[in-house]
Amino acid sequence: MTRLEEILRRARERLEAKEEAKRRLEELTRGARVRAKQSILLLHRGERGAAEEKLKEARGLLEEVGGLLREYPEFSAHGGVAAAWEEYAEARILKALGEEGDFPLPLEVPLESYLLALGDVVGELRRGVLDDLREGNFEGAEERLRRMEEIYDALVSTEEASLLLKGMRRKIDVARGVIEATRGDLALEAGRRRLARTIQELMERMGREGHGEVQG
């Protein structure tokens, strides 16, 4: 084998290995996103144990992604990597808010993914608000709305820095619309509750008055 043939053979092996690594990367990131999404759905259903298991699975896949990136750092800019971390961060934040009542520190998640995930958490909290309203838990709905507003205010307060992240402006705009819609939902429910109380009080008063007339 000539020197050129040897060079080409090694190049081919390297390219084939790189292509296989890329295929594996896409498989891992897709799997991590799916499991993180499943975790979010389970959290909405109140199945916290199952949600944690899905998060652990997603985390394991992301650790494999990290190993591939150490060997092939040129894949770091692959869109699937950022999307997987963002979905994982969203699930982790939502879980911490539900169980601990506060935001988790972004220790195991890239900071950029954490910030972008916050915008999506607003939408997931709205789902929780609607669930609370259906169940008659108005106070719970109000607390979720407060969290939504807290996230939005924080993102807007750091808007200049946050907007350096691709896609952040749109997430902030979407979050604003989601919050406005949620405020409207709570306002309607508050009005319905006031009307129900008024009707109940009126019926009770009429009942008392009718009872008095009968006695008279």
- What is the rounded CA–CA span in Å between residue 85 and residue 29? 8
pTM of the model: 0.84
In this prediction, residues 105-111 reach a mean pLDDT of 89
pLDDT of 212 > 70? The answer is: no
Q: Which part of the chain is CATH 1.20.58.2140? A: 1-102, 110-216
Shortest CA distance to 60 belongs to which of 89, 92, 28?
28
- The mean per-residue pLDDT over the stretch 116-143 comes to 94
Per-residue burial over 94-109, b if 16 or more Cβ lie within 10 Å, else e, is bbebbeeeebbebeeb
Considering the domain delimited by 1-102, tell me its CATH architecture: Up-down Bundle (1.20)
Which DSSP state fits 206? H
Q: How confident is the model at residue 119 (pLDDT cuts 50, 70, 90)?
A: very high
- Provide the pLDDT for residue 163: 66
CATH class, 110-216 region:
mainly alpha
* Mean pLDDT in residue range 40-44: 95
Q: Given a cut of 60, is residue 182 above it in pLDDT?
A: yes
Q: Which of 199, 187, 117, 188 is nearest to 151 (CA)?
A: 117
Residues 83 and 32: beta-carbon distance below 8 Å = no
pLDDT at 206 > cutoff 90: no
Is the pLDDT at 38 greater than 60? The verdict is yes
Structure tokens at 97: 């808010």
